[in-house]
Structure 1
Amino acid sequence: MPAIATQGLTRSFGPVTALSQLTVEMPTGVVGLVGANGAGKSTFIKILLGLLPPTSGTATVLGLDCLSDGLKIREVVGYMPESECLPPDVSATEFIVHMARMSGLPTDVARERTADTLRHVGLYEERYRPIGGYSTGMRQRVKLAQALVHDPQLVLLDEPTNGLDPAGRDDMLELIRRISADFGISVVVTSHLLGELERIADHIVSIEAGVLQHSTSTAAATEFSGMMLVEVTDRGPEVVERLHALGAKVTTGAQAHSFVVAIKDEQVLDDVRSVVVDLGVGLIRMQRGRHHLTEMFSTPQEALHG
């Protein structure tokens, strides 16, 4: 059973259509939801949480109908909003205990779960400080903790790395990876930073102006591109000329001694090795290329991971 499934999901606000005939399945694991501001992501999340009815179509979360089972969905789903929404004058412990109790946990269980969750997100030592004195990264961790405290089966994370520096983004991405890998919680994470999603997501869904653009596994989106970067020590133009003569498709760039070769079959690999041996030049690298997720949102091009 998919974590999330929609069929013809549409939501209009007067003359504006936020979602249009969205039919998609999101598997368990980590799913990256991509879309620019105004693409319909926030509307989609509100529908999934049972907070906003669709104009037409259907949506299910963990097999529960979003239109009729909103309360049940919110019992088993955690949500981390993008907006700044934390009370500054209470401690993380007080806030998370309150959120746990609102989720239906008894007070003693709520306190125990709060301590465990704050330890998991790295805030245990700072748990009694007022949230108003927290850094941006710490506040993001508090928002993540309140989404996890009631032990959900699925969490919806809206731009969880927003406002973080590179080190903070790395820490947050590692937390998200652990949520799925170590605790078996499915995750849907929205982000406009495709490199982040490429690192942690098993599946990518992109929407634009409320319309589905792509739904694919990350492995399929980043498969080998059929191109190979070759770098030699010297005599690069001669190597390229020899390869052209052998029928290889070679693309040169600004660097005289590096170029890209199309891999039409395994013979081209032998041709490269033979040419560099015949010319007596050194072969620095032959690197098989992979596609980048960014190619899904731009003009098709060959991409190489460095």
Structure 2
Amino acid sequence: MGVITTAALSKSYGQVHALADLTVDVGEGVTGLVGANGAGKSTLIKILLGLLSPTSGSATVLGHDIAREGDQIRQVVGYMPEHECLPPDVRCIDFVVHMGRMSGLPPAAARERAADVLRHVGLAEERYRLMGGYSTGMKQRAKLAQALVHDPALVLLDEPTNGLDPAARDDMLGLVQRIGGDFGIPVLVTSHLMGELERISDHVVVLDGGRLLRSEATDTFLADTGVVLVEVHAADGDDDAAQRALGEALAAAGLSCRPHGALVAIDPIAGEGVDPALAHDRLRDLVRDTAADLGVGLVRIQPQRGHLEDVFREEVAS
């Protein structure tokens, strides 16, 4: 049984379907739950925590049924909400200790754990300040600390990089990766910024309009597509003309190619009995020789790899 398992899970508000027949398994490591705003990500998390009741279907979290064991789920799960939830007139250390006590820790253990997690998230020097004076990045770290203070068996993070600048976003993603990797705590993290999750997730679940599009290992989404990207440079500086000339020459040689921004995208040589490795070497040799014949500089030849945003667009379009 997975860490999280759902079966035909649905949530409707009248004619609006926030989730529709969602069946998915979430395992160990970091799982990215991605999709545009309104895709159903936050709704799913609230249902898993027992904060919302589904219209139909079922789900378990760490073996606990969401319909009957919401209290048990919330005792063993850490939750970082998307929206502002911190009392501005409370010191961070006191807030995190309080959340630890609410989760069942005795006073001494709660204070010790609070100090540990605040050091882990980078708030050791700022823990005695009132949270109303915190920056957005510090508030996000405080929310993460309260989700970790009771040593949960699973962490649910709803848009943890929301409102952060690029440097703070990178720091937060690094913390999330450490939770799932170094600490071995399963993480389900949501984001509408798909590129950032492909950097840290082991598995990706893609939602659109409350429906499951795909659920696969991240490496599968980002695998080599087989297409080769080529960049050329012209001695006279007219790189666009050099790109067109190379594309036309390769097409005349029987290759399938097309413009790809400032690059030329070339489909792999295919055919019955064609060895992929030999075909790949032959394609590269042909590109090299064609560029030399045209007198254009060959800047780079590289494989085209998938991206979550590309996969999402392709699935939605289909």
Whether TM exceeds 0.5 here: the answer is: yes
Residues 1:201 and 2:208 aligned together: no
The CA deviation at 1:231 is 2.1
Secondary structure (helix, strand or coil) at the match of 1:287 reads strand
The CA deviation at 1:239 is 3.6
Matching residue's letter, 2:203: H
- Measured in 2, the distance between the counterparts of 1:149 and 1:254 equals 48
Change (3 A) 1:249 1:160: same
Change (3 A) 1:288 1:254: closer
Secondary structure (helix, strand or coil) at the match of 1:118 reads helix
Residues 1:260 and 2:242 aligned together: no
The CA deviation at 1:268 is 1.3
- Measured in 1, the distance between the counterparts of 2:252 and 2:175 equals 52
Pairing of 1:221-240 with structure 2 (within 5 A): 221-234=221-234, 236-240=243-247
Secondary structure (helix, strand or coil) at the match of 1:126 reads coil
The residue aligned with 1:105 is 105
Conserved? CA contact 2:35–2:194, under 8 Å: no
Change (3 A) 1:6 1:237: closer
Structure 2 stretches of 5 or more lacking a match?
235-241, 270-278
The residue aligned with 2:29 is 29
The residue aligned with 1:81 is 81
Deviations along 1:166-200, one digit per CA (max 9) or x if unpaired, are: 11111111111111111001111111111111111
Report percent identity of matched pairs.
59
Residues 1:272 and 2:273 aligned together: no
Change (3 A) 1:113 1:237: same
- Measured in 2, the distance between the counterparts of 1:164 and 1:237 equals 41
- Measured in 1, the distance between the counterparts of 2:260 and 2:46 equals 47
Conserved? CA contact 2:32–2:204, under 8 Å: yes
The CA deviation at 1:14 is 4.1
Matching residue's letter, 1:287: Q
- Measured in 2, the distance between the counterparts of 1:195 and 1:164 equals 15
Matching residue's letter, 2:305: R
The residue aligned with 1:247 is 254
Deviates more, 1:123-132 or 1:20-29: 20-29
Deviations along 1:278-298, one digit per CA (max 9) or x if unpaired, are: 455442210111111111332
Change (3 A) 1:253 1:38: closer
Secondary structure (helix, strand or coil) at the match of 1:72 reads helix
The residue aligned with 1:65 is 65
Matching residue's letter, 1:204: V
Matching residue's letter, 1:273: R
- Measured in 2, the distance between the counterparts of 1:105 and 1:215 equals 36
The CA deviation at 1:299 is 4.5
Alignment length, in residue pairs? 298
Deviates more, 1:164-173 or 1:240-249: 240-249
- Measured in 1, the distance between the counterparts of 2:164 and 2:261 equals 35
- Measured in 2, the distance between the counterparts of 1:180 and 1:293 equals 20
Change (3 A) 1:275 1:131: same
Matching residue's letter, 1:33: L
Change (3 A) 1:30 1:233: same
Measured on the aligned residues, the alpha-carbon RMSD in Å equals 1.9
Conserved? CA contact 2:230–2:302, under 8 Å: yes
The residue aligned with 2:187 is 187
- Measured in 2, the distance between the counterparts of 1:236 and 1:42 equals 45
The residue aligned with 1:11 is 11
- Which residue, 287, 293, 307 being the options, matches 1:292? 307
Secondary structure (helix, strand or coil) at the match of 1:182 reads coil
- Measured in 1, the distance between the counterparts of 2:13 and 2:295 equals 69
Change (3 A) 1:211 1:232: closer
